[in-house]
C-alpha cells in the first residue's frame, strides 16, 4: 500500500487512540440518555459532566460557560444569532474579510434579512486592520466576530486588545477559536471575549462535536430550540460519545501543549528553510512569526496550486490548496485575495498543515517528493509553452 503523508491537519485531524479509548465503550454498551433518570442515564450524565470540566480546563473557562454543539459552524452561527436576538435595536455585525464560510455565508443571509454585515480588511501579512475596525464600530453594532487564528494562513488576530476596546464600547465580541484550540494557550476567564467557538475534530477528537463558550452573565438565546439540555441553551439529546471524545482530546492537548508548540515550530522552520534555499523562489503567505505553529501557506511562483496538489496526492501527500472549490470552478482563496495577492498568486499557493503525528522523518521525505514534483511540473509547463502554436503571420 502506498504510504500516506498527511499534512492537512488544519482541515481535520485523526482521532487520537487516547480519545477513541474513551469513546468506544460509550458507542457499544454505555448508551444511556443523559436526561434519563435511571442508572444508565445517570452514568451518561456523569460522562458529559466530566468531559465538560476537561474542555473548560483547556479553554481556561468555568464548566458552566461551556455549551456543547454539533460543530464549530453551529457555534459561530449560534453566537452571532444570539447577539442579534438579545440586542434587537442593533443592526450591524462587524467581522473581517478572512473569516470562515460559516460566518461569511451567515453574513449573506443576514444582509437579506436587513442587517448590515461589514467585513474589515487585512494587511499584506494577514493582520486585521485595527484602525478600520475602530472606525466602523458604533452604537448600532450588535456584535464583532473575528477568528483567533486563520485556517488558511495561521495568522493570529490580537483578540485581547480588540476585546478590551469593544468592552469599553459595550459591544459583544465573538471569537472563532476553532483553529487555535489545542495549539495555543487560552485563558478565556481573563479575556474580554463573550463567545468563543471550538470544534473537536481539529484537535484529535471526533467530528460532529463542538462547543460554544458563553461568558458568565452574557445574555444568550438558544440557536436550537427544544428540550432543556445544556441548561436550556442548546436542545437535542447529547452526543455522549462525541462529548467524551472532545473531553479526552482537550485533556491530551493540555498535557504537552508548550512542548508540542515548540516541536511543531521547529519542524515548520526546517520545512520552510529547506524550501527557501531551493531554486523555486517560494514565498510564505502571512506573517512569519505571529501564526499558528501548524500552518505553512506557501506560494510557488509559476506553479499551478491545484496541479501541485493533485501531483502530490498521487504520491500519497495530502495538502490543501489555498482555493475553495465552488460548484466545480476553482475560485482563488478569499483570504489570500484580501491580503492583496493577485488571482494568479493566490492560485499558485497551497497550505501544508502539521500536527501531532508529523515527524522530522515525514518532513524529510515530503521535502524530497516535493522538490522532485516541482521540478517535473516546471519542466512539463516549459514543454507545453514550447509546443504552443506560434501566432500567425500578419498577412
Ligand atoms: N472556523 C474555522 C476557523 C475553521 O477552520 C473551521 C473548519 O474548518 C470552522 C470554523 C468550522 O468548524 P466545523 O468543521 O466544526 O464546523
What is the C-alpha separation between 253 and 235, in angstroms, rounded? 28
Ligand 1 pocket check for 174: Cβ under 6 Å? no
Report CA(308)–ligand 1 centroid distance (Å): 24
Ligand 1 pocket check for 322: Cβ under 6 Å? no
On whether the 5-12+257-381 domain is CATH 3.90.1150.10, my answer is yes
Ligand 1 pocket check for 294: Cβ under 6 Å? no
pLDDT value at residue 378: 80
pLDDT of 195 over the 90 cut? yes
147 CA: nearest ligand 1 atom: 3
149 CA: nearest ligand 1 atom: 3
pLDDT of 188 over the 50 cut? yes
E runs forming strands in the chain: 5-6, 66-69, 92-96, 116-120, 141-147, 172-176, 195-199, 210-214, 283-284, 295-299, 317-318, 320-321, 324-326, 329-331, 349-353
Report the SS3 class of residue 293.
coil
Residues 210 and 69: beta-carbon distance below 8 Å: yes
| Residues 339-352 pLDDT 10s | 999 999 999 999 99
Ligand 1 pocket check for 151: Cβ under 6 Å? yes
| Residues 115-161 pLDDT 10s | 999 999 999 999 999 999 999 999 999 999 999 999 999 999 999 99
Mutate to test the pocket of ligand 1, among 202, 295, 351 (most ligand atoms within 8 A of CB): 202
- Spatial CA neighbour of 148 closest among 160, 157, 161, 136: 157
11 CA: nearest ligand 1 atom: 8
What is the C-alpha separation between 40 and 21, in angstroms, rounded? 19
Report the SS3 class of residue 231.
helix
What is the C-alpha separation between 100 and 368, in angstroms, rounded? 33
What is the C-alpha separation between 103 and 345, in angstroms, rounded? 25
Dihedral (CA of 173, 73, 322, 152) sign: positive
- Spatial CA neighbour of 195 closest among 362, 72, 35, 23: 72
Report CA(37)–ligand 1 centroid distance (Å): 35
Helix axis angle, 17-28 to 240-255, nearest 10°: 160
pLDDT value at residue 255: 97
Whether 5-12+257-381 and 17-255 share one fold: the answer is no
Contacts of 26 by beta carbon, 8 Å cutoff, 6+ apart? 44, 47, 240, 241, 244
> Would you give the distance in Å from CA 320 to the centre of its chain?
13
H helix runs in 287-342, sequence order: 305-314, 334-338
DSSP state letters, 124-165 = TTS-B-HHHHHHH--TTEEEEEEESB-TTT-BBP-HHHHHHH
Q: Provide the residue ranges of all domains of the chain, joining segments of one domain with +.
A: 5-12+257-381, 17-255
Correct CATH for 17-255 of 1.10.3720.10, 3.40.640.10, 3.90.79.10, 3.90.1170.50 = 3.40.640.10
Contacts of 216 by beta carbon, 8 Å cutoff, 6+ apart? 62, 64, 65
Average pLDDT on 55-59 reads 98
For the beta carbon of residue 257, count every other beta carbon within 10 angstroms: 16
Confidence of residue 394 (pLDDT cuts 50, 70, 90): very low
In this prediction, what percent of the chain has a pLDDT beyond 90?
A: 91
Ligand 1 pocket check for 199: Cβ under 6 Å? yes
Mutate to test the pocket of ligand 1, among 97, 105, 146, 179 (most ligand atoms within 8 A of CB): 179
Mutate to test the pocket of ligand 1, among 100, 154, 245 (most ligand atoms within 8 A of CB): 100
What is the C-alpha separation between 325 and 314, in angstroms, rounded? 19
Report pTM: 0.95
Q: How many residues make up the chain in this entry? A: 395
333 backbone dihedrals φ, ψ, rounded to 5°: -60, 130
| Residues 265-320 pLDDT 10s | 999 999 999 999 988 899 999 999 999 999 999 999 999 999 999 999 999 999 99
Grid coordinates in use for 49?
A: 459532566
In this prediction, what percent of the chain has a pLDDT beyond 70?
A: 95
99 CA: nearest ligand 1 atom: 3
Amino acid at each position: 500500500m502506498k504510504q500516506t503523508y498527511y499534512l492537512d491537519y488544519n482541515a481535520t485531524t485523526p482521532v487520537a487512540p487516547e480519545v477513541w479509548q474513551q469513546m468506544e465503550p460509550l458507542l457499544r454498551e454505555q448508551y444511556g440518555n443523559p436526561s434519563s433518570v435511571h442508572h444508565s442515564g445517570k452514568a451518561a450524565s456523569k460522562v458529559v459532566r466530566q468531559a465538560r470540566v476537561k474542555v473548560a480546563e483547556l479553554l481556561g473557562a468555568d464548566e458552566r460557560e461551556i455549551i456543547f454543539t454539533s460543530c464549530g459552524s453551529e457555534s459561530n452561527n449560534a453566537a452571532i444569532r444570539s447577539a442579534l436576538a438579545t440586542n434587537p435595536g442593533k443592526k450591524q455585525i462587524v467581522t473581517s474579510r478572512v473569516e470562515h464560510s460559516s460566518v461569511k455565508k451567515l453574513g449573506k443571509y443576514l444582509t437579506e434579512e436587513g442587517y448590515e454585515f461589514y467585513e474589515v480588511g487585512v494587511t499584506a501579512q494577514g493582520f486585521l486592520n485595527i484602525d478600520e475596525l475602530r472606525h466602523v464600530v458604533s452604537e448600532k453594532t450588535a456584535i464583532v466576530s473575528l477568528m483567533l487564528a486563520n485556517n488558511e494562513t495561521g495568522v493570529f488576530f490580537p483578540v485581547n486588545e480588540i476585546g478590551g476596546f469593544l468592552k469599553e464600547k459595550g459591544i459583544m465580541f465573538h471569537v472563532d477559536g476553532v483553529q487555535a484550540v489545542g495549539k495555543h494557550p487560552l485563558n478565556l476567564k481573563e479575556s474580554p471575549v463573550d463567545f468563543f467557538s471550538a470544534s473537536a475534530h481539529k484537535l484529535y477528537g471526533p467530528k460532529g462535536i463542538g462547543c460554544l463558550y458563553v461568558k458568565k452573565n452574557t445574555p444568550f438565546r438558544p440557536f436550537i430550540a427544544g428540550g432543556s439540555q445544556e441548561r436550556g441553551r442548546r436542545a437535542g439529546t447529547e452526543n455522549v460519545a462525541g462529548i467524551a471524545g472532545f473531553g479526552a482530546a482537550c485533556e491530551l492537548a493540555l498535557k504537552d501543549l508548550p512542548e508540542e508548540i515548540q516541536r511543531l515550530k521547529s519542524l515548520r522552520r526546517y520545512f520552510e528553510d529547506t524550501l527557501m534555499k531551493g531554486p523555486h523562489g517560494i514565498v510564505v503567505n502571512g506573517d512569519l512569526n505571529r501564526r499558528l505553529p501548524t500552518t505553512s501557506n506557501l506560494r510557488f511562483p509559476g506553479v499551478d496550486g491545484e496541479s501541485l496538489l493533485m501531483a502530490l496526492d498521487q504520491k500519497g501527500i495530502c495538502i490543501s490548496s489555498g482555493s475553495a472549490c465552488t460548484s466545480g470552478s476553482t475560485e482563488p482563496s478569499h483570504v489570500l485575495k484580501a491580503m492583496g495577492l493577485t488571482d494568479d498568486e493566490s492560485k499558485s499557493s497551497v497550505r501544508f498543515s502539521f500536527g501531532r503525528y508529523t515527524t522530522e522523518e515525514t518532513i524529510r521525505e515530503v521535502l524530497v517528493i516535493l522538490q522532485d514534483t516541482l521540478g517535473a511540473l516546471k519542466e512539463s509547463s516549459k514543454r507545453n509553452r514550447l509546443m504552443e502554436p506560434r501566432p500567425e503571420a500578419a498577412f
